[in-house]
Amino acid sequence: MTATNMEDLVSLCKRRGFIFPSNDIYGGMKGLYDFGPMGVELKINLKNSWWKSIVYERDDVEGLDSTILTSPLVLQHSGHEDTFSDPLIDCRTCKARFRADQLEKSECPRGGLLDKCKSKDLTEARPFNLMFKTAIGPVDDGSSFAYLRPETAQQIFVNFKNITDSTSRTPPFGIAQIGKAFRNEITPRNFIFRVREFEQMELEFFVKPGTDEEWHKYWLDKRLQWWSDQGVNSQKIKLLEVEKEELSHYSKATFDIMYEFPHGLEELEGVANRTDFDLGSHTKNQDDFKISSKVKENKDSTTKLVIQDLETKEWFIPFVIEPSAGVERGVLAILNEAYTVEEENNRTVLKLKSHLSPIKAAVIPLKRNNQDLVNLANKVKSELQSLGLGRVMIENSGNIGKNYRRHDEIGTPMCITVDFESLENQSVTVRDRDTMKQERISLSEISSYYSSYFKN
Ligand code: ATP
């Protein structure tokens, strides 16, 4: 049986050190979560898997790590200052705020769904900009400020020339970035699904105009395959083509990859055809180039964001295909898929894909603080750790049943027990998380056994 509700996941995440409410001991802050010892490893593994498939396994993508603090000029010319908003409605009776497009799902702070509240007295909807601002420099008089970026994409566009100059890339090629993004969501909710601080994994893939639709389809297929490789059941994925009137200001077409989260079908990743809007908006000398999208005049940019077509010698502004995924939503989908209750075995087990497991192997001395067993266990741990496949840990609590239960719940693929026989014949017992089968492996073979398990 897999997880059927969010409470199961929230409880496991807290109990086993995946995710905690942020600023917890001071009452917490809405829409903010911290990733604990297991959560941080899961996140790192998910991000590494994305980076591997998007950058290392290809030859046409470069990486970037840009700043979070962003100049207002960037977000003015990207269109975010004018349009990055959600419709906000206030209730005059209880002073609560709601998103106008989510009223039917909204909870009244007095309890129950808003629709059922008799005393609701709502204002008209008005746009509420979702960007966070912060003062720059020692004087906070509003004259010098930066935004906390609401997406990682804009800094990719702004670095376009730096990257093409330093790498000699020409389309088709991409720039990938993983990092924090911030949105002052009106109603953060559903655990880590909608939060105010989160991470995005974004690829901006630059192509020649006219080849954009083909590349859009290509990236959509690639991304669906990747989610399946992370253990997300394709049966729970639905593709939604965003309707023309709901498209973002920059988009010609967008597919939302929707997933059946415990709270309902919602967006996991967006794959958009952003046309030449972004580079066209941020380039100088806009009139010198054919820009197909509607861009506003830019008198601030110091740089032309163009590429020369090597055959025609004409300078052009590439189109952009953007797969943009949220790390937190990915973690939530993956935990939901992996969460398994086996009543027959009286256990809860996270059947994570092994490359995502926070702990790759737990090495357990059978008897707590027995120096010979602990020394040998430490030796096994160091040997496996040095292979660089992820975190290996020692469990020196002496309670093997408890250790198995804990490692089942955090998704550790193998538990390696060092017992008294190990001291005599240099072998250990390896227990498999999913089958619970145990086998005896010689210490001379443990490294190759472990490596081949994780490399397969
Ligand atoms: P939504 O419609 O759910 O608000 P969006 O269309 O605004 O999402 P995008 O701007 O396309 O989202 O951002 C790309 C990805 O970033 C989303 O698919 C999602 O995975 C993630 N994301 C966006 N907003 C949040 C948030 N508030 N909390 C967590 N992840 C988010």
pLDDT score recorded for residue 329: 98
Closest protein CA for atom 1 of ligand 1: 267
Q: How far is CA 121 from CA 80, 117, 154, 186, in A?
A: 30, 10, 39, 18
Evaluate if residue 394 carries a pLDDT over 90.
yes
CA of 270 to the centre of ligand 1 (A): 8
Closest protein CA for atom 14 of ligand 1: 324
Mean pLDDT estimate for the chain: 95
Domain 357-455 falls under CATH 3.30.70.80: no
CA of 246 to the centre of ligand 1 (A): 15
Closest protein CA for atom 8 of ligand 1: 267
Closest protein CA for atom 19 of ligand 1: 326
Q: How far apart are CA 45 and CA 47, in angstroms?
A: 5
Is the Cα dihedral 329, 334, 337, 338 positive or negative?
A: negative
pLDDT score recorded for residue 4: 67
Q: Cβ-count burial of 398 within 10 angstroms (0-12 exposed, 13-18 middle, 19+ buried)?
A: middle
Determine which of 141-150, 275-284, 386-395 has the lowest per-residue pLDDT on average.
141-150
Alpha helix segments (H runs only) across 35-145: 37-51, 72-77, 80-83
- Beta-bridged to residue 89, according to DSSP, are 98
Pocket test for ligand 1, best of 324, 327, 332 (most atoms within 8 A of CB): 324
Q: Is 379 left (phi over 0), alpha (psi -120 to 50) or beta?
A: alpha
Label residues 381-390 b or e (16+ Cβ within 10 Å = b): beebbeeebb
Pocket test for ligand 1, best of 83, 101, 198 (most atoms within 8 A of CB): 198
Per-residue pLDDT band at 268 (split at 50, 70, 90): very high
CA of 33 to the centre of ligand 1 (A): 16
CA of 266 to the centre of ligand 1 (A): 10
Taking only the tens place, the pLDDT of each residue in 164-174 is 999 999 999 99
Is the separation of the CB atoms in 45 and 358 below 8 Å?
yes
The H or E element that residue 270 is part of is strand 264-275
Taking only the tens place, the pLDDT of each residue in 174-219 is 999 999 999 999 999 999 999 999 999 999 999 999 999 999 999 9
Segment 18-38 mean pLDDT = 97
Amino acid identity at 89:
I
Evaluate if residue 95 carries a pLDDT over 90.
no
pLDDT score recorded for residue 456: 67
Q: Are strands 359-365 and 391-394 parallel, antiparallel or unpaired?
A: parallel
Q: What pTM was computed for the model?
A: 0.94
Ranges of each domain in the chain: 6-84+133-336, 88-129, 357-455
- Beta-bridged to residue 35, according to DSSP, are 19
pLDDT score recorded for residue 1: 56
**Between 3.40.640.10, 3.40.30.10, 3.30.930.10, 3.40.50.720, what CATH number should domain 6-84+133-336 receive?**
3.30.930.10
CA of 326 to the centre of ligand 1 (A): 6
Closest protein CA for atom 25 of ligand 1: 194
Segment 18-35 mean pLDDT = 97
Pocket of ligand 1 (CB under 6 A): 151, 183, 185, 194-195, 198, 200, 267-270, 324-326, 328-329
Per-residue pLDDT band at 121 (split at 50, 70, 90): confident
- Using only the alpha carbons of the chain, give its radius of gyration: 25
CA of 353 to the centre of ligand 1 (A): 24
